[in-house]
Structure formats: C-alpha cells, structure tokens
Chain A
Amino acid sequence: MTHQFPTLSEAQKRELHETALRIVSPGKGILAADESVGSMAKRLAQVGVENAEENRRQYRQILFSADDRINGCIGGVIFFHETLYQHTDNGVPFVKLIRDRGILVGVKVDKGVVPLAGTCGETTTQGLDGLSERCAQYKKDGAVFAKWRCVLKISEANPSKLAITENANVLARYSSICQQHGIVPVIEPEVLPDGDHDLRRCQYVTEKVLAAVYKAMSDHHVYLEGTLLKPNMVTPGHSCSIKYSPEEVAMATVTAIRRTVPPAVTGIAFLSGGQSEEEASINLNAINNCPLAKPWILTFSFGRALQASALRAWRGHKENEKAATEQFIKRAEINSLACRGKYTGGDNHGEAGQRVYGSSHAY
C-alpha cells in the first residue's frame, strides 16, 4: 500500500456522494422492487396470480403510480432489469415516471447466488462478468445506483471464513466497478435469520461479516462516502425460543454497526428479511431512537415490508388497483416516520412512553 493510483476524480466523488445523500435524505428510504422473475413467481403465487411479464408490469405499475405522498418517503427505487424497460399503460417508461417525481432509479446487478464447494451449503454471488459495460449502459438508461446481494447463514459450522472473505471480496469488486460509472453501490451482505440462534449470536456474526466487508472495501479502494450499506438488522433466528423487544433488537443492531461501519458511509438502509411490515417499521423506529451516537442515516430498503399489504389488496384484480396503491403509500409513510424515530403506532407495543434500551456494555 505504498502509492495511491487514480481511482475517481474529485467531480466523480462529488457526484457519487451527492447521489447517496439524496437517496437517504431525511425521512426517505428505498423501495426494493427488484424481485427477480423467480422471486416474483413466489409472491404472485401467494395471491393466485400467474407469473407472466404483463402481470409483473401491472404489479409494479401499482407501486409506481402512487401519488405525491410518497415523494417525501421514497428516495430511491431498486429495479429489476426487466422492469427498467417496461412502461405504464399509457406508454410512459417506468424510469421516467419515477425520475420525474425526484426519486432516484437503481438497478439490481447481481446474477444470483452460486455454491461454494467444500462448504456446508454456503454461497457467493455472481455477476461480475461484463459488469463494467452493463453499468455504463444502466447509467445511460437512467440508473444512478445499483444493488448486489450476498448471503450468509448462521449454523453450527457457518458462516465459514471462506464464505465471509469471498462474499466481502465480491461486494468490494462490484462496488469498485459501479463507482467508475457514476453509480452508487448499495452493498448488501445479508446474514439470514434462518435458525434458532439467539440475538447475541446474530450480533457476533454480523460484526465479523461487516468488519470483513469494510476491510475489503478499503483493499479495493472504494470511496465510502459514495456507497450505501444494506445490512440485516440484528435479530434472533426465526426458530429461537427467546423473544426480544424492539429496543433489544435496536441496541444489538446499533452496537454492531458502531463497531464496524465507518462514519464515512453515507447511509445504512436495512433490509426487512422475513419480518412483517409492522415488525420492520417498529424495529426501524427503535433503531432510530437508540440512545447511542449514530453517525450515519439509518433508514429502510424494504421489499416485502413495503409491498405485502399492497400485494394482498390487489390479488391481480384491476378494480383493486387503487386500494393496493393506498396500502403501499400507507407503509411508505409509516416507514418515513420510523426512519426519523417518530413512529408511535403498533398495537402490541406495550405501554407508550419510556422504552427500556439497556446498557451498551452488555452487548
């Protein structure tokens, strides 16, 4: 590490940093509408809708035709490749529809997970081949940010050292390539909630994974101010018998990121994983009320946690479209409050008023 060689000019750095700031402007988060064709199949099957391109188009149209109420709640939308080139019923490109509202367009650029041989079912993520050219094209087509998802899991033997280093490395390569094209990389090292591990174990693993991610970012000369992080919140595994409060989830999450994510990272937009819409909002709210100093913006990048109710309201019927859009707007507004720590809703939240966060030393 003796000499610095040129990576980004001052103008390029400024562009990336400003884009990142705009995506996570106070009160705003990200709508993750980048479900692959395969993932959409699962979603549509749940409401009895056929997984046809036209149905996928109509469903995204429901989200994108939300009115001005979402302008103050959504800073960016992540698109799947196919959706980037689709139009509304009136022939308006989705990209234009979104951009004209002052919302930034992002695109999922990874090509899914592939197994790591010799591990216990672990994966890395592919998509680096020709990524530079693809990014250049996406930039021309209106995208200013990208997203790449890596996946790790917790079990007796996992995550292994190989899985951690390999995924961190591939995230750093992706980031480096994006930035060369004026595209802000959203970095997603998801630690899955599958399993019966407790909160503490998830926190430990999340800290190790994030430390590796940021070392890789440094090694690959990534400009941190021009990136966003999309991590899991620190939660117990799905089959864990112990129940934790949102404040405990918040304290564990904020402690983990304070120990690993450099203050230079512009914003952290949490994924919702398997959480319900309400759970995700309440946890995000608790995170923003956690009494530890938090030098980054803490917001959302939700898929299911923004769309579940809308999907259910739609069920593929044209007459339900407006109602479905309303459901989406409602969740967007709630999460806008949550990312400012101002969400007071939630029915099973115990008594309002003082929340007990506990001491940071115990984490």
Chain B
Amino acid sequence: MALRLPSKVLKHILSFIDSNEDRNSVSLVCKSWFETERKTRKRVFVGNCYAVTPAAVARRFPEMRSLTLKGKPHFADYNLVPDGWGGYACPWIEAMAAKSPSLEEIRLKRMVVTDECLERIAASFKDFKVLVLTSCEGFSTDGIAAIASTCRNLRVLELRECIVEDLGGDWLSYFPETSTSLVSLDFSCLDSEVKISDLERLVSRSPNLKSLKLNPAVTLDGLVSILRRAPQLTELGTGSFAAELKPEAFTKLSKAFSNCKQLQSLSGLWDVLPEYLPALYSVCPGLTSLNLSYATVRMPDLVELLRRCSKLQKLWVMDLIEDKGLEAVASYCKELRELRVFPSEPDLDATNIPVTEQGLVYVSKGCRKLESVLYFCVQFTNAALITIARKRPNLKCFRLCVIEPFAPDYKTNEPLDKGFKAIAEGCKDLRRLSVSGLLSDKAFKYIGKHAKKVRMLSIAFAGDSDLMLHHLLSGCQSLKKLEIRDCPFGDTALLENAAKLETMRSLWMSSCFVSFGACKLLSQKMPRLNVEVIDEHPPKTRPESSPVERIYIYRTVAGPRMDTPEFVWTLHKNPEIGVSKLAIK
C-alpha cells in the first residue's frame, strides 16, 4: 500500500520551496506531485522564449504571478545576432493577458518589446507591480508613459541598458498625481532630459522609494535636490557627476550624501570629475555595491575612494584602477564577492590596458570571499591562473577575456591550457566559465573532464580541431549553455554528440566550420531541437559542404518557430531543400 501525502500537506511543504530547480525536480516525482506543484508555482522562469509556447506556460501554471523570459542568445549583446532575429515579447503578453490576468510581474531580457506590448501590459493586468526590461529594444518612452499612467500599483520600473526611442522626458509626469507605490525606478539608459521639477515631485510623493537610478542628463544640482527629498534611498544611480567646480556645489553634494544613511549601492557616476569624488566618502563605509565602470578616474582617486569601502561586496570598475589599485582593493575590501574590470579602451588595437594578470592575482589572494570574476586584460599567464585557482577554489563564475585573441602565456609562450585546467579542477563549484587566449584541444579536454558544475561556457578563438567540441559535449555534465565563436571545428563532434544537445538549453556557434549539410541532418534526426541557421546567404544556393555563418540550436517543446526572418533557415521553413546528403554515422 503506497502512502500518499495529502495534497494539502504537500501544498504546505511546497510553499517553502522557492527555487524553480527544486520545483522542477518535485514535479518529476509523480503525477499528483506534478499537479500540486504546478498549481502552486507563482514565479515562472522561461530561459528561452522559443522553448515552450506561451499558451502551454499559462495552462500549466494557473497561479503564476511573476514571469521571467529571455529571448535572444547571449552573443546578441556583442552584435553577433543580426537585427530582426526574433525574441518578440508580444505573443507572450497576448497569451498572458488572455489566460493569466493576475500576472503582477514581468521581467524580460534581450527581447523585442513594442509600445503596443507595453500598452497591453498596462491595460491587461489589473494589479501589475513589476516591470524589468534588460537589454530590450523596440519601444519608446510613449510605452513607458503608458505603464506609468495606467499601472496604479506599480512598484518597480527598471530599464536596464535598453535601447529606447527617446521621445523626451514627459513620461515622468505620467505617474499618478497622488502618492505612488514606487519602490524602484531605473531610467539610466534614457538619453533625454527629464524635468527636474517632475522628478522632484515624483520622488516626494513616492514614500516607498528605495532604489532610484537616474540618467546621465540629470546634473549634480538635480541630484542634490533629489537626495534631499529621498534620503531613505538604499540604491542610487547618479546622473552625470561633473559640473563646474564650485565650492558650494561640492559642499551641498557632500551634505546631501551624508544624509543618506541607508545607501548601500551606488552606480551611474558618468563623466566623473575626480574633485567631486570626496563627496561620496561619507557613504563609502556602508556601501556593499559600487559600480564605477563608467567613471574615467585615475587610480589614486579610485584608491582614495575604495579604501573607505570596507564592506564592499560588489565592485565594477574600469582598468584605470591598474594593478596597484587592485592591490589596494585586496587589502581594504575584504568582503568582496564580485569583481568586474572593464577595459577603458575597448578596441582590439589597444595595447596599453593598465591591468595585468597581477591585479587579479592580488584580489584572489586578498579577498577570501571572491566568487565571481569578469576580467579584461591584454594577456595572461598560466602561473597566474594556477595561483588564482589555488587561492580561490570557491569561485563560481570566472570570465576571463584576454583581449588579444590567441595570446599565449606571455612568459612561457605556451597555451593557457594548464591555467584553465587548474581553474576547472580547482574551482569545483564553478558554474560559469569564459575562456580566452591561446588554447589547444587539451584545455577543453580538462574542462570537459573537470568542470562538472559548469552550466554556461563561452569560447572564442580557441582550440585546434573538432576534438575541442567533442571534449566539451561529451564531458561537462551540467552544461546548459554553450556559446562558441570563431573556432575551427566542423561537423563530426556536433553530430556525434547530438543527444547532448537535448540536455542543454542552447548551443550557439558562429564563424566555425559547421556545414549546412550537418545542420540539415541534425534537424532531421532531432525533432525536439530547433536548428536555426542564421546566414545572410540563403543556404539553397550553397553546396551542402559549405560552412554556415551562425548556428543556434536549442531544445524546445514548442515546435518550429513561425516568426523567423528571411535570414534564418530552419528545416520546417524550407523542407524542399531535402534530405541531407551526408553519410549517416
């Protein structure tokens, strides 16, 4: 006799489980658990908007209150996905408007969102609270105005690095005239000026406002006036941090900041004039997150600021910090968990990037809690990587971008195989890895074998042959997302490891040697994968053996896409091209 847990009890237990991964596991236990889980899931995450239909999601999760969607592949951030590829939010919004009108939160990443879409959101979800758009595009400030004016219970409106058609700052005046329920507002990616008076009034009537990120058009004067009205802020993104040097201006700024006793996170800081940095000193001791990645400030000024930030956990900075500055970070910011160092000159030709591998080594040695790294520099050494791995086995995310492609260990002229082997072996909890520099197939053999928890792997200009891909696809047990550009491998490894692709969310390959024939074969043999060939030459006119420009493969239960542009080929679209002539192995 099987014991069955009463569904009420199960429901109660499940109310403690927030992690979707755990809930996914729960739903696999048996049908009744599946049913109970699906009826209690409130936060739904869809990592690839084409992996499942909106209708299916709405049907499965009737109590959904929060939906997170991701659209374009990650490499779209670097212009590798042509405009018009897809990732449209509208079908999802339409479906949810019809079937999940109680939806309260929508978070979209790398999707195309139109003004109509935003208006639909505003009109359809009565209790809409949270809209976060990250790296989205396709809408204008009119759409934002619609959200602001219609969603009376709006708490969060964040536009993170979106491309917005900016029709002016009027949208700000569309928020309800009486008090708003705003907790977080981020319009840092908008270009045009907003009226400071509108902003001041908004802030004054938003008593719950905790996070405010201004755009660069807001001046220091404006900032002072805002801070006076919102000293309760915990997160602040400044506007432009430069103005004519006037002692009164500095004093006012300094005073305004010193009144913000709860400030934990600081960002923005565009056009920083170093003379104004000391105005921040009063908030430094309380800061846990500091984004200086747009502040072109020299090392001494950076160090003066950073040595006061003893609680800092997250630091984004430009390479102007130099190795010396990173050494200072290592000694003052002992709580550091995440470090990102961006290049100040993002050109291939740049040779005077002032950080070297030594800077990262300092931080790895000094900051025991360091677990996430994004580091741009010109060249690296195996010894440095080995030291980093040894000192920081707790690394979870390691993204190293050696800007010069194919750069070997500059001291020994060897490939960086040994170094990345150390990282893969030593950092057992590594979940995300980006490799660069000169790498041979050996490096990928190590990674395949040892990087057991890596879920996302990014590779560029690396490897010798097909073996590289074979090592990765036959190893890397937890691999979910693999993105590769400009690597010299072809079809064999891909076809031999086709089954692996169904265990992954997606595979992106561009400027490699995958032939059109292999793509066709894969499409035919693996119906639960969508194989997209993104190529500005129509494949029809090319021989089967010719390499395709880009290929994007993802598992899906939604079937073939119906919204592909002309430069995306799928088997479904052009079945007349016929069967692949490749030998079936």
Asked if A pairs with B, the answer is no
